[in-house]
Chains A and B, each alone.
Chain A
Amino acid sequence: MAPQRIELMLCTGTGCVAGGSFRLKTALENELARQGLKDEVSLVPTGCNGFCGQGPLMVVMPEQVFYGWLKEEDIPFLVQEHFLKGRPVKKLMFTPPEKKEPIPLLGDIPFFRKQMLLVLRNKGVIDPEKITDYLARDGYVALEKVLTSMSPEEVVEEITKSGLRGRGGAGFPTGVKWTVCRKEPKTPKYVICNCDEGDPGAYMDRSVFESDPHSVIEGQTIAAYAIGASHGYIYVRSEYPLAIKRMQIALEQAQEFGLLGKNILGTGFSFDLEIREGSGAFVCGEETSLIHSIEGQSPEPHQRPPFPAQVGIWGCPTVINNVETLANVPIIITRGADWYSQIGTPTSKGTKIFSLVGKINNTGLIEVPMGITLREIIYEIGGGIPDNKLFKAVQTGGPSGGCIPNAHIDLPIDYESLKEVGSMMGSGGMIVMDEDTCMVDVSKFFIQFTNDESCGKCTVCRDGSDALLEVLTRIANGEGQDGDVEFLEELGAVVKDASMCGLGQTLPNPVLSTLKYFRDEYIAHVRDKNCPAKACKALIKYYIDPDKCPGCTLCLKNCPTGAIKGETKHVHVIDQTVCSKCGECLEVCPPKVSAVVKVSGKEAQELQSLAAPAPVKEWRARRAQESSTVNTRS
């Protein structure tokens, strides 16, 4: 193939695809052909680039110009200006909020600069559907190394020495798990890749599948060699169609190349892999449930020990590792345990992928070394909180984790430090919350989720989550009673203690950690019927300040429920019995007027609207008279 002068790395991860990147792909191909650039410029569909908030996006190689928020109509201009005439298009580049000048190059954008890419080393650089792209980036070098120069024991030893710990949540040392399984006399043995990613707002594993599926296959094959397994499963939820498709293609290519199957690379080692799709029950991420699901049984957990490494699928020794854990394996083997264990903190080695979402300027997928602080993640990589709002807390670990308040923002992140402050690493979801987020509401959201997802086997988990949800709903509805807060704490502790699997054992964490750091907020809801963040609909009221309302009818016209009464140049009034509290009036009221306010608690009870709309002139005259009367009296 003739050399090209430009390669367009177009992100086709699920996020960008949803934003239309396949349509952009067609548009780009057509336009390149139309302008006669087809032979000089090529297009490479890649997996998730990470800067999802800017999607659909594209990086232009070799210069590394970053373009975001692309639309089909931008394409003809972009192709002509940049790819033909060599003038990069500023208006399509990334401009940080509140800055005027765009940052043209990917490497200069703070979101990327602070990251450390080990697992995601190939993201945005390779076409995930081409095994040759993976090979070119030293793909399958690690497999080659273990099959030709290392004994299985040495592989286990190397992984143990590296300090790698499970990336799925609990952080169990991978080497220990492998050692236990290796020592089991029973055969056959199995390796399972756990891609049942279910935490709300988390998409690390999906992105690894979509951007670099071979790294997982390679890691899993090395794991199989280390423990002596001949067969493996990739368990992935069927809600991830693109991830499944790319993994399926990768498996077929690896089989075709003889990197999977019988007598791999002529070394005598045999191992094969197949995909098993789950229907997306959250509990299937728990390893014993996952095993039951593959076996075709109802996905309920069972008691450990024996651990799956001893008695796993089909009653045989089984290693179950998370996607990210397995994707770490090839680089540890290639670069060595000594190199790997220099990265991170004393107890947690390497990097961690987080999905940074919520109230944050730069939404996306990031990989950072263990030990980085929350401040660096939120303010440097994440670019801070939108609209200059105040940072309130960050939720890590999904429904099993907890909220970490501002007081701990300089905490270096690792497995232990997160546990100490009442949260956990989890699989890597990181939801940023600002001052407008109500902690009762957040707890309610997560308990609603785990309550739905509880398999129902243990009474404390099934009925305990019901009861937690009931009380939280009551508090959010302004019907909280004395003793509710104490009840939440007591019940939370019981659910933790008496549940059998990780789901139940951790589900009270969102409630308990918010109670620990934001107890006042719960008390305000219960005692004062006040939602300090003004988020709980039952406790808030929208109110039009009659002294400020000029009677412009803007809010009235935009109110979807017709709750606003008034006419031109009349002070408007919200009928609270009709208002759905959508906040549209507050949105549309011009900032220089700001007559609409949102109030809660005492303020909401005290503020009284006019009984009926009144002409602005009359009302203001009356107010002027009132105040002058007051003045004369004083």
Chain B
Amino acid sequence: MAKLTIDDLRKKRAEAQKGLYLREGEFRGKITVHMGTCGIAAGARTIVAAFLEELEKSGLKDIMITTSGCAGLCSKEPMATVEMLNSPPVKYGELTPEKARTIFKEHIVGGTAAVEYALGIGSERGA
């Protein structure tokens, strides 16, 4: 490899920074795909894959995609919860990869919840 100049080094550094965002801990939003047995059976893994693909396309580095257990509404699986900073969480149900893509574009990128697929807004209250 050719020796780097100052400019090359800066470019390399900027490139490298893109790969480390999971470890830096600054997130603006979080997508949780519910992966109970019910969710997985209903195809939750394809939903995760769709979100990940959209994340890559968007180039966003401050969105966390994670999984959690069954959300309790098994008949509506696959389900996902989208939480953006400073706004209430939105639960989406009966997802397909296409719906997931739309949700990503409208809610994460666009900033408005994709109400047509939403089951509800806000968290369930504890007893």
Q: Which residues of A contact B (CB under 8 A)?
A: 1-7, 9, 36, 40, 61-64, 83-87, 125-126, 132-133, 135-141, 144, 147-148, 256-259, 261, 263, 265-267
Q: Which of A36, A62, A137, A138 is close to B22, meaning CB atoms less than 8 Å apart?
A: A62
A125 near B23: Cβ-Cβ < 8 Å: yes
Instruction: Judge if B102 is at the interface, Cβ distance under 8 Å.
Output: no
Q: Which of A3, A83, A148 is close to B6, meaning CB atoms less than 8 Å apart?
A: A148
Nearest CB to that of B12 among chain A residues?
Answer: A135
A5 near B66: Cβ-Cβ < 8 Å: yes
Stretch at the interface among B50-58, B85-93, B107-115, B117-125: B50-58
Known contacts A62-B25, A136-B13, A144-B9: A257-B35 contact under CB 8 Å = no
B45 near A36: Cβ-Cβ < 8 Å: yes
A265 near B19: Cβ-Cβ < 8 Å: no
B6 near A267: Cβ-Cβ < 8 Å: yes
Known contacts A63-B66, A64-B25, A85-B35: A266-B5 contact under CB 8 Å = yes
Please encode chain B, from 4 to 28, with 1 for each CB lying within 8 Å of some chain A CB and 0 for all others.
1110011011011101101101010
Pick from B13, B25, B69 the residue with the most CB of A within 10 Å.
B13
Nearest CB to that of A88 among chain B residues?
Answer: B68
Known contacts A2-B53, A36-B45, A62-B27: A132-B19 contact under CB 8 Å = yes
B48 near A5: Cβ-Cβ < 8 Å: yes
Instruction: Judge if B127 is at the interface, Cβ distance under 8 Å.
Output: no
Given contacts A5-B65, A84-B67, 20 further A-B contacts (CB under 8 A): A2-B52, A2-B53, A3-B55, A3-B56, A6-B22, A61-B22, A61-B25, A85-B35, A85-B69, A86-B66, A87-B68, A133-B20, A135-B12, A135-B16, A140-B9, A144-B9, A257-B9, A257-B12, A258-B2, A261-B3
Residues in B whose Cβ lies below 8 Å from that of A87: 68-69
Q: Nearest-CB distance from A142 to chain B (Å)?
A: 12
Q: Which of B1, B20, B48 is close to A137, meaning CB atoms less than 8 Å apart?
A: B20
Q: Which of B15, B22, B35 is close to A84, meaning CB atoms less than 8 Å apart?
A: B35
Residues in A whose Cβ lies below 8 Å from that of B49: 40
Nearest CB to that of A9 among chain B residues?
Answer: B23
Pick from B1, B16, B45 the residue with the most CB of A within 10 Å.
B16
Instruction: Judge if B78 is at the interface, Cβ distance under 8 Å.
Output: no
* 27 A-B residue pairings within 8 Å (CB atoms): A1-B19, A2-B56, A3-B55, A4-B52, A5-B65, A7-B23, A40-B49, A61-B25, A62-B27, A62-B66, A83-B67, A84-B40, A84-B67, A85-B40, A86-B32, A86-B33, A86-B34, A86-B35, A86-B66, A125-B23, A133-B19, A135-B17, A139-B13, A144-B10, A257-B1, A258-B2, A265-B9
A266 to B2, CA, bound (A): 11
A74 to B9, CA, bound (A): 42
Instruction: Judge if B64 is at the interface, Cβ distance under 8 Å.
Output: yes
Residues in B whose Cβ lies below 8 Å from that of A263: 3
A266 to B8, CA, bound (A): 11
Nearest CB to that of A256 among chain B residues?
Answer: B1
Q: Nearest-CB distance from A77 to chain B (Å)?
A: 14
Q: Which residues of B contact A (CB under 8 A)?
A: 1-6, 9-10, 12-13, 15-17, 19-20, 22-23, 25, 27, 32-36, 40, 45, 48-49, 52-53, 55-56, 64-69
Residues in A whose Cβ lies below 8 Å from that of B36: 85
Residues in A whose Cβ lies below 8 Å from that of B2: 258
Residues in B whose Cβ lies below 8 Å from that of A7: 22-23
A290 to B50, CA, bound (A): 59
A125 to B2, CA, bound (A): 28
Pick from B3, B5, B40 the residue with the most CB of A within 10 Å.
B3
A86 near B69: Cβ-Cβ < 8 Å: yes
Residues in A whose Cβ lies below 8 Å from that of B9: 135, 140, 144, 257, 259, 265
Pick from A36, A135, A138 the residue with the most CB of B within 10 Å.
A135
Q: Which of A83, A132, A148, A258 is close to B16, meaning CB atoms less than 8 Å apart?
A: A132
A6 to B66, CA, bound (A): 8
Nearest CB to that of A1 among chain B residues?
Answer: B19
Residues in B whose Cβ lies below 8 Å from that of A86: 32-35, 66-69
Counting from the closest, the 5 A-B pairs by CB-CB distance are: A258-B3, A86-B67, A136-B16, A86-B68, A132-B16
A84 to B68, CA, bound (A): 8
Nearest CB to that of B33 among chain A residues?
Answer: A86
Q: Nearest-CB distance from A512 to chain B (Å)?
A: 47
Residues in A whose Cβ lies below 8 Å from that of B33: 86
Q: Nearest-CB distance from B69 to chain A (Å)?
A: 5
Q: Which of B1, B48, B68 is close to A40, meaning CB atoms less than 8 Å apart?
A: B48
Q: Nearest-CB distance from B55 to chain A (Å)?
A: 5
Residues in A whose Cβ lies below 8 Å from that of B23: 7, 9, 61-62, 125
Pick from A40, A86, A263 the residue with the most CB of B within 10 Å.
A86
Q: Nearest-CB distance from A559 to chain B (Å)?
A: 52
Nearest CB to that of B27 among chain A residues?
Answer: A62
Residues in B whose Cβ lies below 8 Å from that of A3: 52, 55-56
A148 to B10, CA, bound (A): 13
Residues in B whose Cβ lies below 8 Å from that of A266: 3, 5-6
Residues in A whose Cβ lies below 8 Å from that of B48: 5, 40
A394 to B9, CA, bound (A): 46
Q: Nearest-CB distance from A514 to chain B (Å)?
A: 45
A140 to B10, CA, bound (A): 10
A40 to B107, CA, bound (A): 22
A1 to B34, CA, bound (A): 25
Residues in B whose Cβ lies below 8 Å from that of A84: 35, 40, 67
Residues in B whose Cβ lies below 8 Å from that of A138: 13
Q: Nearest-CB distance from A135 to chain B (Å)?
A: 4
A148 to B9, CA, bound (A): 13
Known contacts A62-B64, A136-B17, A139-B13: A265-B4 contact under CB 8 Å = yes
Q: Nearest-CB distance from A265 to chain B (Å)?
A: 5
A63 to B12, CA, bound (A): 27
Nearest CB to that of B58 among chain A residues?
Answer: A3
Q: Nearest-CB distance from A32 to chain B (Å)?
A: 14
A40 to B47, CA, bound (A): 12
Residues in A whose Cβ lies below 8 Å from that of B32: 86
Q: Nearest-CB distance from A130 to chain B (Å)?
A: 9
Residues in B whose Cβ lies below 8 Å from that of A257: 1, 3-4, 9, 12
Residues in A whose Cβ lies below 8 Å from that of B15: 132
A85 to B35, CA, bound (A): 5
Nearest CB to that of A81 among chain B residues?
Answer: B69
A265 to B10, CA, bound (A): 11
